[in-house]
Structure 1
């Protein structure tokens, strides 16, 4: 039960990409869930709660650097620990 007290607070803006300035390694040691418009999404790569958007991959499409092409979806965003 002490694990719950050691979890860092979830930031307003978080990215799963380690190259991003919004990536926080300590948070990804725990399972993070995202509710987008009331439904849980498992494919979210980046989110911002205050601006109300998430970035998700656009299918299997890749950009010219070989990274998944991302699209931004706007709506109500909530982050939580599973």
Structure 2
């Protein structure tokens, strides 16, 4: 798995842009220079995010969302498990 997050990602399991492995690593989003924790979906190349519009729900129980446009940055909050294992292997070989 790469160290750059995907260009388009959604938290909705019914979306074609949903990826559980990526979401489990944790994604940080900065929108217009401010960190956001309430992002439902984002696209870096198109420059937009979707956020819930209050507590409103549609008839299927999904949150109503608003699409906001602006500069979007994304990063992984947690390192890859492979990177942690490699770091531990290096430390054990140096100690011996």
Q: Which one of the candidate residues 4, 12, 26 is aligned to 1:9?
A: 4
Please tell me whether Structure 1 or Structure 2 has the larger radius of gyration of its CA atoms.
2
Unpaired runs of at least 5, structure 1: 1-5
TM-score by length of 1: 0.87
1:22 & 1:30 partners in 2: Cα distance? 16
Instruction: Please list every run of 5 or more consecutive structure 2 residues that lacks an aligned counterpart in the other structure.
Output: 78-96
Structure having the higher helix fraction is 2
CA RMSD of aligned residues (A): 1.3
Q: Which runs of 4+ in 1 moved over 4 A?
A: none
Q: Tell me the matched-pair count.
A: 77
After the TM superposition, which residues 1-82 of structure 1 pair with which residues of structure 2 at under 5 Å, given as runs? 9-82=4-77
TM-score, with structure 2 as normaliser: 0.75
